[in-house]
Chains A and B, each alone.
Chain A
Amino acid sequence: MSLAFAPPRSVPDLAIPSERHRLSCGATLIISPRAGAPVCAIQAHVRGGPALDPVGREGLAWLTGALAEQGTRRRTEEQIANLLEPAGGDISGDSTGLAGTIVNGEWELLADLLCDSLIDATYPAEQVRRQRTRVLDRLLLERDDPRQQGGLRFRKLVYGDHWLGRPAYGNLANMARIRPEDLRAHRATNWVAKRGVISVCGDVDAARVKRVFERHLARWKSGTMLATTPPEFPPIAPRVDAFRADRQQVHLYLGHLGIRRNDPDYAALVLMDHVLGTGPGFANRISRRLRDELGLAYTVHAAIHSSAGILPGLFTAYIGTSPQHARTAIEGFKEEIRRIQTEAPSVEELELAKAYLLGSFPMGFERASRRTGYLVAAELHGFAPDHLTRLLHEFAAVTPEDVRRVAERHLHPAASCIVAAGPLTREELVAIAGVPTRPAPRERAARASTAPR
């Protein structure tokens, strides 16, 4: 070869330069100036999310965010759209707040409209009715969509009755009950400054950004920090579910409760994921085996680290394949999981995964919205300013035995939940997957003791 392909030997320094301020209202503001950036992004995160949905009004937190930019005390929905859209601006919301982007030169307009929506959204009755109807239509389509149903049922099996086990936008019955006054009350009570984290990234002057946000958010009610309760989930145990639909492919989900982001094994699990089932191209074991060698699927992956948050995420192995391949796919998943639990990966495999992570992290922050997303996450998790560099050093220090050890500790192939959505019945799935048809006694007991209602 005319070129030797070798990754750089040293661990790069990586940081998203930013400054952090506490605004007078109590919210945290993080500013990351970036000269020459064509787009400016702003994210306003409010702690809480779907955890704050009242029983019987599930979806309320999501709708509070989704409708926040559809009318405020100062502006109608039409006035907001008239200002925002010609400037290339966009604001969207969900249960955790608002996020927007705009052509860089117009960032002050975005800041104004986003803050206005954050503290002064009025939830006009007509907009609420309309949005609710659209969500109900969407839910009706999702009811028959195997991919959607497969994902939802998998979460339900793993998380049980916890809010993580249901869609953030609720269900048909609950969504129909939500009224404008519910939304106003939810916003007034829960969207408060002390729970707010705002990040801004673009070609901006930091001092000016701070002044602008101080001005726009001067009236934001300070409120109180969120009280949290420890979550309860069903035990990790084999459970199956199926959604029968006449389709070409079956969507298979296999996995269980995952890890929190602050798990001490996080760095080793990121490496494990890249050896086992995620990463660029098809260099990982599961893609190589199930896609490249067996030709079972176009889409196949497995990971535990990517959903890790303040609460535990999921370990999910997913494949979309023809129903006649379902057994081979499930067996393939289990065998690869067992293999990584019993045999440490080769030095070459691990070095490949490390080289990717050390080389690609610096390239992951080209988009302004990616930077604002990271800065909010860093604040929520309490990452130190040098977190990214430290994380890269942690990746570099992981050994093959570390990967095997964390795989053994955190993966449970025999106790996995399995969901099939497509042309397979539950009985066929049970026969293929070889899992118990009834909950294990231990599971039943645990469920009874943790049933919230």
Chain B
Amino acid sequence: MSLELPVLAQKAGAAIREHTLASGLRVLLVERHLDPVVAVMLWYRVGSRDEDERNAGVSHFLEHMMFKGAAHFGKGEVDRVTTLLGGSNNAFTTNDHTAYWFELASDRWEAALVIEADRMRSLLLDPAEFAAEKAVVLEELSMGLDDPWRRLTELAQESVFGRHPYRRPIIGHADALELLTVEDMRAHYVRHYRPDNSILVVCGDFEPVRALELVEKHLGGIAPPRVAEVEPFRPLPTEPPGEKRLSMTWDDEGQRLCMVWPSGAVGSAEDWVLDLVTTILTGGRLSRLHRRLVLEQGLATTVSTQNDARVDCGAFWLMAEGAQGVAPAKLEAAIDGELARLRDELVPAKELERAKRILASGEAYESETVSDLAEEIGEFAIDADWRMSLETMTHIRAVTPTELREVARRLLVPERRVVAWSLPKSTARAKAKVKASKQTRRTSAVRKSR
């Protein structure tokens, strides 16, 4: 076979081509010759979004099991072969997708295709390996439970996404993981690990015709299984009825604040606007919140925001660590002041232009290595459309001060948000004494153990 594919676009010195195999596997060839290296990323459209209460965490656990043996590459063989070839590999699971990556020298990247084909076709899921790896996943979960920020954001996430699966942590909960069986995982694997549910990105120093021949040779023969698509219950969050306040305690002196608002899906009009909002609020030393909270008033030691746009819907996060001795209410009031300013006033043209320049210059870092570039393109491809990775700055440059104010007015209002605090145990005890008789809407602290 010899197939010449047209170059559809250029990005960061790379030529992008696309082809879909008969099996439905979409292939993106991103050719760049800066270094003699090739990144191979295989993306599956499956994550915690595709789980229910009973099998929560299975996508992430399955990601671990993909290194535990398939028909040709037994337990540990993926790592052994990668090591032998002087490469690196890993994988990650998000709410919406699971991705596997290899970075190998350009004279031996074909190995990644052979490995991916093997584990897409014939994962073993050996019961003994399943049991051993479950212990590892439970240790990973324990590690997360020891992180106060992780506990706090999971607490807030549980509230902001209503009944949508996004409310659950990607790693799942210990009780569900304990009960998970090999059969549960196999069903999940068969349903989602199929060529027509995946996208392959090959990025770096290769010859495109030869690359496509190799992809066809190793992955072309895998037919999608005949499995009925079972969509989990995924109701979109309804408009919040009012502000929700949560709190937990932690045995250190930290005052950690997490605010989160429901927002739009990846690629929605508000997605681009919220990228700008994050930059205006916390992008750099002169951003509004950093300047006011950290530099001018000393109310916080750190403050950050994140536009977390997902496939079905998104969330806008704001996190701040209060300075010692600062009353939580004072920190909140200062944040509220800046958010109100964003809703009430138009962002000056100069400030907006500065934020756009910061976002534009950030693109250089998103493509410095072939793995950076493969991830940037692949993530847009699996969640929406890879062309979005080219159009981001076009959308962002088009945002006007009026649009930005409109999105802030519509989304970033107190009535729509969840406010979660993690406070020192000592502070919480003192407060509890004072307010013992008052009814609040707060939930109880996160349990230490299950």
Contact = CB atoms under 8 A, between A and B. Distances in A.
B119 to A, nearest CB: 14
A133 B83 contact: no
Given A140-B253, A144-B252, A5 B286 contact: no
A298 B361 contact: no
Contacts of A361: 86
Interface in A14-42: 36-39
A1 B114 contact: yes
B284 A279 contact: no
A297 B111 contact: no
Nearest to A6: B84
A5 B340 CA distance: 61
Given A104-B364, A248-B146, A366-B370, A36 B80 contact: no
B251 A144 contact: yes
B357 A5 contact: no
A78 B90 CA distance: 40
A229 interface: no
Interface string B273-301: 00000000001111000000011001001
A45 interface: no
B89 interface: yes
B285 to A, nearest CB: 4
A142 B85 CA distance: 40
Identify which of A136, A138, A283, A294 gathers the most chain B CB atoms within 10 Å of its CB: A283
Given A85-B358, A283-B76, A359 B368 contact: no
A51 interface: no
Nearest to A280: B88
B369 A367 contact: yes
Contact of A363 (B37, B134, B365): B37
A298 B143 contact: yes
A439 B413 CA distance: 61
A401 interface: no
Interface of B: 12-13, 34-37, 67, 72, 75-76, 78-90, 103-105, 107-108, 110-111, 114, 131-137, 139-140, 142-143, 145-146, 217-218, 251-254, 283-286, 294-295, 298, 301, 321, 323-324, 354, 357-358, 360-362, 364-365, 367-370, 448-449
Given A36-B34, A144-B252, A352-B80, 20 more contacts: A39-B368, A78-B285, A130-B294, A143-B253, A144-B253, A247-B146, A281-B79, A282-B76, A295-B134, A295-B135, A296-B139, A297-B139, A321-B139, A356-B83, A358-B86, A359-B84, A360-B88, A365-B35, A367-B369, A422-B146
23 contacts: A7-B84, A38-B13, A39-B365, A78-B285, A85-B358, A86-B357, A88-B364, A106-B361, A134-B294, A137-B301, A140-B253, A141-B253, A248-B449, A280-B82, A281-B82, A283-B76, A294-B132, A296-B135, A298-B143, A352-B80, A356-B86, A359-B85, A363-B105
A307 interface: no
B344 to A, nearest CB: 25
A360 B78 contact: no
A72 B131 CA distance: 59
A36 B83 contact: no
B358 A86 contact: yes
B80 A85 contact: no
Contacts of A322: 139, 142
Contacts of A136: 324
Nearest to A82: B286
A133 B108 CA distance: 52
Identify which of B140, B285, B357, B367 gathers the most chain A CB atoms within 10 Å of its CB: B285
Interface of A: 1-3, 5-8, 36-39, 77-78, 81-82, 85-89, 101, 103-104, 106, 130, 133-134, 136-138, 140-141, 143-147, 245-249, 279-283, 288, 291-299, 320-322, 352-353, 355-363, 365-368, 422
A82 B350 CA distance: 11
A87 B357 contact: yes
A38 B139 contact: no
A137 B252 contact: no
When A and B form their complex, which 4 residue pairs have the shortest distance between CB atoms, in order from nearest? Answer: A359-B86, A88-B361, A295-B135, A281-B79
A57 to B, nearest CB: 22
Contacts, number: 202
A56 to B, nearest CB: 23
A358 B119 CA distance: 27
Contact of B136 (A8, A144, A298, A359): A298
Contacts of B83: 279-281, 283, 352-353, 355-356
Contacts of A299: 143
Nearest to A102: B361
Contacts of B283: 85
A367 B364 CA distance: 12
Contacts of B82: 280-281
B87 A103 contact: no
B142 A360 contact: no
Contacts of B35: 363, 365-366
A299 B80 CA distance: 19
Contacts of B80: 281, 283, 352
A292 B65 CA distance: 11
B49 to A, nearest CB: 23
A320 B367 CA distance: 33
Given A5-B81, A37-B34, A81-B284, A355 B295 contact: no
Contacts of A145: 252
A295 B136 contact: yes
A295 B72 CA distance: 24
B143 A1 contact: no
Nearest to A127: B295
A298 B86 contact: no
B361 A352 contact: no
A116 to B, nearest CB: 16
A294 B107 CA distance: 36
Given A320-B139, A363-B105, A86 B354 contact: yes
A281 B78 contact: yes
B146 A146 contact: yes
Contact of A138 (B90, B137, B286, B301): B301
A368 B286 contact: no
A432 B111 CA distance: 44
A356 to B, nearest CB: 4
A38 B369 CA distance: 9
Contacts of B370: 366
Contact of A360 (B86, B133, B143, B449): B86
